[in-house]
Amino acid sequence: MSVYLTLWLVLYCLVGTVAVRAIPHRVTAVIGTMAFGFFAVFRGDVGSDTVGVYQGTARILSSGGFGASHMEPGFRALLYAFVRWTDSPQLAVSGIALVFTALLLAFAVRAYKAESWYLFALFIPALFFQLGFNGERIGIACAVLLLSAQCYRLGQTRLSKVLFWGSLLFQYSSLVVLAYTLLVESKMRTRRFILTSLATLCAVTVFAYFAHAYVLAKYMLYVLSGYQSPGPLSGLSQIAIVAIILAGLRYFRLEPQVRRRMLWVTTALCVTFWGISQYSYAGLRLLDLVAFALPYSLLRAMAKGDAMFTSRAKLVFVLAGFVGAAFYFRNMLLEPAGAQSPFIPYHFIWQ
C-alpha cells in the first residue's frame, strides 16, 4: 500500500514544482513516467489480470504457438516474442510493461505543455495502474493513440493515421475511442458526419466478421457467464473523471460546435455504458474507454488549433487526476480476498 501512496505523493510534489516553474514540464513528465514504469516492469504477481489473463496467455503461447490464442495480433506478437525470448510468462508480462513505459516515454520527451500536463496530472495518477498493471492491451493501445495525437501536432500526418488505426492491433475495443474521436471531430448535419457514421458502422461490422472468435469469447465472458459489476455504484470513478472534464470544457476555449459535440456524445455514451454496467462488467470497461477518449480528444483539438490550454485547464486535469487516483486506490483496498494477483501488497518480481 505504501508503494502506491508514495508514488502518488512524489508525483504531486512534482506537479507542484512545475506549477511554480521550478522544473520544466517535460522533465516532470519523464520522471513521473519512469518512476511509475519502474514499478510496473519489476512488479511480481501484482495487478488483477496479471496472472489469470496475461501470464496464462503467455503459457498458452509458449506451449501452443502463436496461433493458440485469439488475442489481438499486435499484442499477441509482443507477448509471444517475450515469452519465447525469456521462457518465462512472468518476465514476458514484465516485457509488455516495459513496452508500455517506453511508448509513454517517447510521448513524454516530445511533449509540449498541454501534453505534459495531461500525462503527469491526469493520465499517470488516474490511469497508469489500470493500464500498466492490469489492462495492458488497452494500455499499449492508448499509448499508441497518444503518440498518434502528438504526431499530428508535429505535422507527421501519415504516421499519425497509421498509429491511430494501428491501435486496434493491440486492443480491439479501442475501436470505441476511434469512433468517439471521429464523431466528435465530424461536423454534425453534414455529409462528412453521415459518411463518418457509416464508416464506423462498416468498421464495426468488418471487425465482428474477421474477429468473430474474439467477439464470441467476450460475449461468453460478459453475458453468458454472468460476469457482473461489483455493485450499483460501480463506474462512478470513470464518470467522476468525465464529469469534471466536461464541467471544465469552457476553460479549454473550444470552438462552440466542438464543445457541443463533445458534451452530447460523451454524455450519451456515459449514460449508455453506465446502464450496461448495471447488468454486465463490460459496461465498466467501456466507461474506462470514455474516460480516456474525452481528454484524448481534447489533446487532438488543441493539436488542430480548435482549443487552447489555459491555466484553469491545468486545474481541470489535476482535479480529474486526483479524483481518479482516489477512486482507484479505493478499488485496490476493496479487492476481493483470494485474488490471484492483488494490487496489495505490492512486491517485486524477485521477492
The string of pLDDT tens digits covering residues 39-78 is 999 998 888 788 888 888 888 887 877 776 778 889 999 9
Question: Phi, psi (5° rounding) for residue 120?
Answer: -90, -15
Q: Give me the pLDDT at residue 211, please.
A: 56
Counting residues of the chain whose pLDDT is more than 70, the rounded percentage is 85
More confident residue, 285 or 140: 140
Q: In percent, how much of the chain has pLDDT > 90? A: 44
More confident site: 86 or 341: 86
Q: What is the pLDDT of residues 299-334, one digit of tens each?
A: 999 988 888 898 899 999 999 999 999 998 988 888
Say which residue the cell 518512476 belongs to.
Answer: 35
pTM over 0.95: no
User: Residue 29 pLDDT > 90, yes or no?
Assistant: yes
Q: How far is Cα 329 from Cα 341, in angstroms, rounded to an integer?
A: 16
Give the three cell numbers for residue 101: 513505459
Q: Are 97 and 34 in contact (CB under 8 A)?
A: no
**Structure confidence at residue 335 as a pLDDT band (50, 70, 90):** confident
pLDDT digits (tens, 9 = 90+) for 219-238: 444 444 455 555 556 678 88
Per-residue pLDDT, 224: 44
* pLDDT at residue 128 tops 90: yes
Distance CA 295, CA 301 (A): 10
Domain boundaries, the chain: 2-333
Q: What are phi and psi of 186, to 5 degrees?
A: -85, 145
- Reported as a pLDDT band with limits 50, 70 and 90, residue 279 is confident
- Cα gap 328→279, rounded to integer Å: 21
| pLDDT category of residue 162 using cuts at 50, 70 and 90 | very high
What does the angle CA 177 – CA 259 – CA 151 come to, to the nearest 5 degrees? 50
Whether the pLDDT of residue 37 is over 90: the answer is yes
C-alpha cell, 324:
481518479
- pLDDT at residue 123 above 90? yes
Q: Three-state SS string across the chain, please? A: CHHHHHHHHHHHHHHHHHHCCCCCHHHHHHHHHHHHHHHHHCECCCCCCHHHHHHHHHHHHHHHCHHHCCCCHHHHHHHHHHHHHHCCHHHHHHHHHHHHHHHHHHHHHCCCHHHHHHHHHHHHHHHHHHHHHHCHHHHHHHHHHHHHHHHHHCCCHHHHHHHHHHHHHCCHHHHHHHHHHHHHHCCCCCHHHHHHHHHHHHHHHHHHHHCHHHHHHHHHHHHHCCCCCCCCCCCHHHHHHHHHHHHCHHHHCCCHHHHHHHHHHHHHHHHHHHHHHCCCCHHHHHHHHHHHHHHHHHHHHHHCCCCCCCHHHHHHHHHHHHHHHHHHHHHHHCCCCCCCCCCCCCCECCC
Average per-residue pLDDT in the chain?
Answer: 85
User: Which residues, 6+ apart, have CB-to-CB distance to 304 below 8 Å?
Assistant: 152
| Tens-digit pLDDT profile for residues 242-261 | 999 999 999 998 888 888 88
Q: Can you tell me the mean pLDDT for 275-304? A: 87
Residue 283: pLDDT over 60 = yes
Res 106 pLDDT > 80 = yes
Q: Which is higher by pLDDT, 186 or 181?
A: 181
Paired residues of 348 in beta bridges: 43
Calpha distance 321→304 (Å, rounded): 24
Are 309 and 144 spatial neighbours (Cβ–Cβ below 8 Å)?
no
Instruction: Check if the beta carbon of residue 104 is closer than 8 Å to that of residue 40.
Output: no
d(CA 118, CA 314): 8
Please state, in angstroms and rounded to a whole number, the distance separating the CA atoms of residues 195 and 197: 5
